[in-house]
């Protein structure tokens, strides 16, 4: 019975036309403070309710302030750390699934930065959260990052951490895409067919890099993207979101139409967002 509930809730994060998720994490304030783009919670509402956004990730305090005015799915982030901590990758639970349910959440999320120091902590955390969330019929998004030595260059390593999360029952994954997009099929192999994989936007990059990430998401049939700073730290977040939605939806026409659309975007000068 809880599987049906989890599937129904997760569908709220999927655009029915493109069948992709376009989720905007807005939980950075706990880790980084009031950085540019999310300094005033009320300003987020001026752009976050665009049709392109299928969901947002918030900590409970900001959710109490703006969650009731959102027109998209709501994910409550359950753990975190401050970046000045001695071990910032060791993220602690800061709320509960029950609290997320009381806030009207459609899903919950946890971030796990894997290293030799954090691995056992992360496994206990994910196992606990999944059991608690599934008892409420709530899907779990696990943000998985490889912080081990040479982790960013080791596809086998991140695949191991992704598989560990799947073994513990998570409902969706957020990971950094490999630098070489041709490695995406190997990264997704044996996972995307049953557990949606969303690609992280990462630190602020140029517009073209973001569009290419969205295009690769479509080309390799990933679940979508989960992009924060590459949206809210631009002058016009709505324009960026609309472009991303267009990349996702244009591919529904045909492979030829998509290739033509992407080529045109690559030739255009980068927008001054």
Tell me which of 141-145, 215-219, 256-260 is least confident: 256-260
Assess if residue 44 is contained within a domain: yes
Per residue in 62-91, pLDDT (tens digit) is 999 999 999 999 999 999 999 999 999 999
**Residue from 20, 27, 91, 146 carrying the catalytic annotation:** 27
2 pLDDT higher than 90: no
pLDDT of residue 266: 41
Count of H helices and E strands in the chain? 12, 10
Average pLDDT over the chain reads: 91
d(CA 206, CA 2): 41
Q: What percent of the chain has pLDDT over 70?
A: 90
Q: What is the pTM of this model?
A: 0.91
**For 123-158, how does the pLDDT look when each residue is reduced to its tens digit (9 = 90+)?**
999 999 999 999 999 999 999 999 987 766 789 999
Judge whether residue 263 has pLDDT over 50: no
List, for residues 13-47, the tens digit of each pLDDT value.
Answer: 999 999 999 999 999 999 999 999 999 988 899 99
- The token duo for 215 is 């295009």
Active-site residue, from 60, 91, 174, 251: 174
Secondary structure element (H or E) that encloses residue 27, with its range? none
Pairwise CA distance, residues 82 & 92, whole Å: 10
pLDDT number for residue 258: 40
Q: Which of 171, 231, 223 is nearest to 201 (CA)?
A: 231
Q: 244 in a domain, yes or no? A: no
pLDDT at position 29 is 96
Residue 247 falls inside a structural domain:
no
Residue 264 lies in a domain: no
226 in a domain, yes or no?
A: yes
Over residues 190-206, mean pLDDT: 95
DSSP string, 242-266: HHHHHHHHHTTT-HHHHHHHHHHHH
Active site residue 27: yes
DSSP 2: H
Tokens of 198: 């969303």
SS3 label, residue 110: strand
| Average pLDDT rounded to a whole number, residues 174-198 | 97
Residue 261 lies in a domain: no
Domains held by the chain: number:
1
The beta-strand segments (E) located in the chain are 21-25, 55-58, 73-77, 79-80, 92-93, 107-114, 140-146, 172-175, 197-200, 224-226
Is 197 exposed, middle or buried (CB count within 10 Å of its CB: 0-12, 13-18, 19+)? buried
Residue 270 has pLDDT above 70, yes or no: no
* Residue 184 counted as domain residue: yes
Three-class SS state of 142: strand
DSSP annotation of 234: S
Q: Is 174 a catalytic residue?
A: yes
Range of the domain at 16: 2-204+220-234
Catalytically annotated residue among 106, 145, 171, 250: 145
- Both tokens of 171, joined, read 């409902």
Torsion (CA) 52, 38, 59, 152 in degrees, nearest 10: 80
Mean pLDDT in residue range 108-115: 98
Question: Mean pLDDT throughout 212-230?
Answer: 97
Q: What is the CATH number of the domain that holds 226?
A: 3.20.20.70
Structural contact between residues 11 and 4, judged by C-beta atoms closer than 8 angstroms: no
User: How many Å apart are CA 110 and CA 245, to the nearest integer?
Assistant: 25
16 lies in a domain?
Answer: yes
What does the pLDDT average to over 194-214? 94
Q: What is the pLDDT of residue 152?
A: 62
Confidence of residue 251 (pLDDT cuts 50, 70, 90): low
Share above pLDDT 90 across residues of the chain, in percent, rounded to a whole number? 85
């Amino acid at each position: 019975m809880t599987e049906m509930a989890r599937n129904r809730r997760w569908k709220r994060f999927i655009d029915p036309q493109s069948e992709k998720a376009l989720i905007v994490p807005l939980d950075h304030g706990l880790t980084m403070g009031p950085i540019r783009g999310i300094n005033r919670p009320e300003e987020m509402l001026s752009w976050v309710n665009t049709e392109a956004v299928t969901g947002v990730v918030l900590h409970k305090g900001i959710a109490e302030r703006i969650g009731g005015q959102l027109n998209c799915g709501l994910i409550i982030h359950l753990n975190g750390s401050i970046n000045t901590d001695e071990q910032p990758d060791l993220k602690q639970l800061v709320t509960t699934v029950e609290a997320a349910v009381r806030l009207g959440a459609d899903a919950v999320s946890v971030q796990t930065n894997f290293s030799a120091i954090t691995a056992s902590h992360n496994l206990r955390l994910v196992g606990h959260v999944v059991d608690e969330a599934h008892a409420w019929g709530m899907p779990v998004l696990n943000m998985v990052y490889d912080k081990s030595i040479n982790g960013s260059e080791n596809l086998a390593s991140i695949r191991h951490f992704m598989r560990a999360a799947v073994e513990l029952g998570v409902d969706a994954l957020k990971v950094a895409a490999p630098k070489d997009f041709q490695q995406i099929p190997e990264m997704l192999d044996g996972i995307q067919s049953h557990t949606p994989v969303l690609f992280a936007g990462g630190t602020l990059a140029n517009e073209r890099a973001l569009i290419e990430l969205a295009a690769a998401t479509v080309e390799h049939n990933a679940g979508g993207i989960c992009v924060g700073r590459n949206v809210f730290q631009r002058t016009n977040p709505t324009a960026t979101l609309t472009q991303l939605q267009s990349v996702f939806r244009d591919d529904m026409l045909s492979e030829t139409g998509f290739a033509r659309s992407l080529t045109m975007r690559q030739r255009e000068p980068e927008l001054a967002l």
